[in-house]
Every structure is written in structure tokens, then in C-alpha cells.
Amino acid sequence: MPTRDLLLVDDTALAAPGFVDLARREHDDTASGRFLVLPSPAFARAARGPAGRKALDDLARGLVDARRGRVLVAATRPEARSGIEAAVHGAAARQVGATVLTQDAAWAQELHRTFPALGVGRLDGSVVTPWFSDGLGAVTVRELETAFAPASCAVPSDDATTPERAQPSPRLALGEEHSGSRLGRLIGQGGEGWVFEVLLPGMARPFADLVCKVPRRPSQVRLRKLARMCAVPAIEGVSWPSALVVDAQGEWLGFMMSKASGRSVARVLSDVNDPAASATAFDRLDLAVLAAKVVDRVAAVHAVGALVGDVQPKNVLVVRKRQVTLIDADSFQVEGFACPVGVVDYLHPELLDRNLRTTLRTSAHEAFAVAVLVFNLVMCGWHPYAHKGGATPLENQRKRLFPYRAHRVRAEVPGGEHGVVARLWSHLAPELRAAFEASFEALAPPPVPEWRPMLDRYAKSLRARELSKQVRPQLSRNLWLERPPAR
């Protein structure tokens, strides 16, 4: 794929003869992969007003976001220069190159001393000319691979023999391409590690859309896996590792990834069944749309040859009912690096007694997990193997005791044949009911992408009020009438 880099233009270059021709050429040439940053007096006025901090935060967020291909607006000279310096560090964090255009010889010298790998040039007519004899600098752009290679056996994990590290201190200095940045506030932690904000170089303000995850066990196998993941472009809607991070002594610390926010799907499903949370709760149309977006995110991971592995509601974040992000991408299965974690409710029965650290999952295992999560969503939090009068869902899962049928409701459904769960089931689209029966009775779930058109048609029926959007429907539909005609 073509490399990309940021072309950062200060106001001296903006005023230079030939700039308009350069801008037109760069904007029209989509194959160039370069992105233009233009100073604007309007931005400078905003930066001085009450919204100044937000405006500068937006600038810092946008300038480092080269992979999304935005055409951005920077500030006049003082703000543009601080923004450019932030962008240089952000480009290094994402391993995207940056070239600054300026007609100011003194500032060009300062940039060259501070950022030796940065390209610094000036405009001669509409031609970019290097300021220095070593050219435009050895920028950090790299060729990214498009997909992972398949693997037939798992890479042995060395987590058990790698001692846990102590929690890093905030303000810890970073090294190499992140030199000048420091760890900021601790914003999250779990069994696998800690997540920190990253402070912009020389500032107390963090990057707006980048964070650093520090694993508790800095194993060599984990390092190799993350290095492979950083070699593949970021996936939209996935908090994907973008660059490895070392400390000031050159020791591996962790990795940069895009910042994710929102409520977990687990919290969404909890709120659906909590009358006190009605103001923020989803209805069944919202849940159908959310399920479709989750399917899209998982399918995008599959498209690069990876598996999510730990498919579960806590690993999906939602903002405003529509923006969906998969998190904990460092646990994804890539090549021979297995996904070492999982929640039993979402594991294919074949995996229930396996050591996940040494087991490579298959697309069938992933399809089963996705089917469970889709069922959770369209059935308002219920698990497919929840069984009235049966054993635990886990034991029912082992025995494949699925208490639903496409065209009838069995007495074993939680709450019985006339309860709220039976009514929820009756208000699903027939093709969804059939897909769930195949998934959980015969262990033959559809491939992940095939859920999307089914969910879209289901959402259309909900919008048309052919099916109830209520999370507690008052009436059941007669499923017997939907049975296919006898042959």
C-alpha cells in the first residue's frame, strides 16, 4: 500500500508564491497519500476565546490522525508551530512520517536540531526544496502489511515465566521516537496491564486520541506479537496497537493505541433491564443496530487475518448508541499467537476444557461466540442456554440444550411459554430464529458477515412496527402460523 505522511505548512509557506499550485497538486493527487495543514486566522481567534482549549485539543487530535486522511486546519504562526511540534511527536507515535514546509530559516534550523528525522523544506515556486544537505530527512514512514499470515500451531506462551513488573509511575519519560513525551494519568487497569494517558512533549496536556498500555508481564512472546500487530494498519472501530513504546533507558514498556471511550455492551444490557436507567436504555431497534455494528467490527478484524478471540460484552464500547469500538485488541489471535483469555459463556463447547494460551481458535469458534453475543443483544441480555429447570448455562452449553425452536417456544424457556422471554423470542424475525437454532442446537452458526443483512432486515421490520421494539413485549406473536408449508 502507498505510504502516507503529514505535510505540515506554516503561515510563511502559505504566503509563498507557488503555494496554491502545490496545494492543488497535493489535494488532487490522491495517490500521494500526503495531508495538508493550513493556517487560519479564524482558528487563531477561537484559540484566544473561551473555547481555546477545546480548539487546541481538536488541533492536536487532528494533526496526528494521518491515517484517516483528513484535510485539517491549523492556527496562525504561534499556535501552528506548537501544533506542528505536537504533530511531529504524534506522527512518530503512529510511525507516520512528517515534513514541515517553512520559509523561516531560523525556525527550520531549530526544527532540524530538535527533530533530526523530520523532513524540513521550503517552497521554491511550487517545488519543495530541502533546507539542509541531508535532504528532507529520514522520515519514519514505513510500508505497512495488509494482513496476517495463517498459522497451523500456537506459539508457546512465556507469560508464566515472565515476572510481573511494578506499576509504572506517572510522568515516566519515554524514549526513542517518543522522546520528550511522558506517561500521564492512569485511566484504566485490569488483569493484563495498565492504560495511561500520554503527555504531549513539553506540555501538561495529553494526546487527545492516543494512550499507552503497559502489560503487567513484559514477555518476549507478547513483544513479538505486538510488533506484528503494529505492522498492520489500524482498523476502524478497533483500539489497535499502533507503535511499540520504550522508556528512557530503552527498555520495552508497552504500546501506543487509539483511545476508546463509551459504555460497555455489558452495561448497556444491564441498563436495558433496569427500570431506573430508562433514560439511557436501548430499545430493541437500538440493540439490533448495535448488533449489526458489532458484526461489522468483528468482520473487519477477520478481513486482516486475525480473530477477536475474547468475544464478550465487556470488550465492546458504545457511544451515543451508534459509535462502536472493540477494545483489548492486544489479546486478539494473530498468526500463531493465541488469544489467551475468554469468558466461558462465549466459548464454543470444544474450547471449554482447553488451555486457551496454547489453543488456536478457528473461524467456527469465533462464529459461535459472535452468535452468542448477537443473541444477547437481540434478546435483551438473555443467554441462549439459559434453561428453565435445567442445569447452569455452562452445563446446558456442554449438552447443547437450547430451549428455543424457530417456530415454537418450548416450556423450558425461562419464564415459560407465556413469559416475557418467550414474547421476546416471538418478536424476532423468522430468519434470525432459524439462524439461532442452527447456531446453538446444531453448532452450525452462519459466517459472521451473514448476520449483517439479517439484522438489517430485522431492524427494518422494527421500524415498520411489524415487530415490537419493546424490551418487555405485552403480547406474543403466533409462531405456528409462520411455519413453512408442508411438502
d(CA 403, CA 421) in angstroms, rounded, equals 11
d(CA 179, CA 174) in angstroms, rounded, equals 5
Q: Which residue is listed with cell 505548512?
A: 9
Q: How confident is the model at residue 78 (pLDDT cuts 50, 70, 90)?
A: very low
Q: How confident is the model at residue 334, as a pLDDT?
A: 95
Tell the burial category of 451 from Cβ atoms under 10 Å away from its Cβ (0-12, 13-18, 19+). buried
Same domain, 220 and 270: no
Q: Which residue is listed with cell 504566503?
A: 15
Look up residue 44 and give its amino acid: A
Q: How confident is the model at residue 87 (pLDDT cuts 50, 70, 90)?
A: low
Contact 343, 312 (CB under 8 A): yes
**149 within some domain:** no
* CATH number, position 196: 3.30.200.20
**421 within some domain:** yes
* 424-434 pLDDT tens trace: 898 999 999 99
Distances from the Cα of 221 to the Cα of 185, 217, 225, 349, angstroms: 28, 10, 6, 28
Q: Which residue has the higher pLDDT, 415 or 243?
A: 243
Taken in order 216, 218, 221, 227, the sign of the CA dihedral is: positive
d(CA 240, CA 329) in angstroms, rounded, equals 6
Most confident of 54-58, 309-313, 415-419, 475-479: 309-313
**151 within some domain:** no
d(CA 57, CA 51) in angstroms, rounded, equals 10
Same domain, 300 and 381: yes
d(CA 4, CA 462) in angstroms, rounded, equals 43
Q: Which three cell numbers stand for residue 125?
A: 515556486
Same domain, 337 and 453: yes
Same domain, 293 and 395: yes
The pLDDT of residue 445 is above 90: yes
Long-range contacts at 470-475 (CB < 8 A, ≥ 24 apart): 470/283, 470/284, 471/272, 471/273, 471/281, 471/282, 471/283, 471/284, 471/380, 471/424, 472/420, 472/423, 473/420, 473/423, 473/424, 473/426, 473/427, 474/423, 475/423
Percentage of the residues of the chain whose pLDDT score is greater than 70: 72
Same domain, 371 and 321: yes
* 368-415 pLDDT tens trace: 999 999 999 999 999 999 876 666 777 888 888 888 888 777 777 777
* 264-319 pLDDT tens trace: 999 999 988 777 766 567 899 999 999 999 999 999 999 999 999 999 999 999 99
Residues facing residue 39 across a β-bridge:
74
Q: How confident is the model at residue 64 (pLDDT cuts 50, 70, 90)?
A: very low
d(CA 136, CA 308) in angstroms, rounded, equals 40
d(CA 158, CA 328) in angstroms, rounded, equals 19
Q: How confident is the model at residue 117 (pLDDT cuts 50, 70, 90)?
A: low
Query: Torsion angle, CA of 91/97/99/100, rounded to 10 degrees?
Result: 0
**148 within some domain:** no
Same domain, 247 and 278: no
Looking at 114, 130, 146, which one is the last position of a domain? 130
Q: How confident is the model at residue 477, as a pLDDT?
A: 64
The pLDDT of residue 26 is above 90: no
The pLDDT of residue 40 is above 60: no
Same domain, 233 and 302: no
d(CA 117, CA 139) in angstroms, rounded, equals 5
Structural domain including 192 reads 159-258
**196 within some domain:** yes
Looking at 258, 283, 304, which one is the last position of a domain? 258
Same domain, 219 and 366: no
What mean pLDDT do residues 189-212 have? 84
Q: Which helix (H) or strand (E) holds 78?
A: helix 77-93
Same domain, 458 and 471: yes
Same domain, 164 and 116: no
Gyration radius of the chain's alpha carbons: 26
Single out the residue of 100, 138, 102, 137 nearest to residue 122, CA to CA: 102
Number of independent structural domains in the chain: 3
Contact 121, 104 (CB under 8 A): no
Q: How confident is the model at residue 390, as a pLDDT?
A: 64
Q: What's the whole-number average pLDDT of the chain?
A: 78
What mean pLDDT do residues 321-339 have? 92
Most confident of 95-109, 360-374, 460-474: 360-374
**152 within some domain:** no
DSSP three-state, residue 458 = helix
The pLDDT of residue 3 is above 50: no
Contact 300, 235 (CB under 8 A): yes
Contact 461, 467 (CB under 8 A): yes
**Which of left, alpha, beta for 69 (phi over 0: left; psi -120 to 50: alpha)?**
left
Q: How confident is the model at residue 97, as a pLDDT?
A: 62
Residue 254 phi, psi dihedral angles, 5° rounding: 180, -140
Q: Which three cell numbers stand for residue 306?
A: 486475525
Percentages helix, strand, coil for the chain (3-state, rounded to 5) are: 40, 20, 40
**150 within some domain:** no
Contact 73, 94 (CB under 8 A): no
Q: Which three cell numbers stand for residue 428?
A: 424476532
What mean pLDDT do residues 222-246 have? 89
Contact 287, 294 (CB under 8 A): no
Same domain, 460 and 324: yes
Q: How confident is the model at residue 134 (pLDDT cuts 50, 70, 90)?
A: low
Looking at 211, 227, 258, which one is the last position of a domain? 258
Q: How confident is the model at residue 478, as a pLDDT?
A: 59
Q: How confident is the model at residue 41, as a pLDDT?
A: 41
Q: Which residue has the higher pLDDT, 383 or 81?
A: 383
d(CA 442, CA 434) in angstroms, rounded, equals 11
DSSP string computed for 390-435: S--HHHHHHHT---EETTEE-TTSTT-TTSHHHHHHHTS-HHHHHH
Distances from the Cα of 396 to the Cα of 33, 36, 417, 435, angstroms: 53, 58, 19, 19
Q: How confident is the model at residue 38, as a pLDDT?
A: 44
Percentage of the residues of the chain whose pLDDT score is greater than 90: 39
The pLDDT of residue 171 is above 50: yes
d(CA 318, CA 268) in angstroms, rounded, equals 8
Task: Considering only the C-alpha atoms of the chain, give the largest distance between any 2 of them, rounded to a whole number of Å.
Answer: 86
Look up residue 204 and give its amino acid: A
Same domain, 274 and 421: yes
Q: How confident is the model at residue 79, as a pLDDT?
A: 45
The pLDDT of residue 435 is above 90: yes
Q: Which residue has the higher pLDDT, 108 or 60?
A: 108
Q: How confident is the model at residue 111, as a pLDDT?
A: 75
* CATH number, position 371: 1.10.510.10
Most confident of 177-181, 321-325, 421-425, 449-453: 449-453
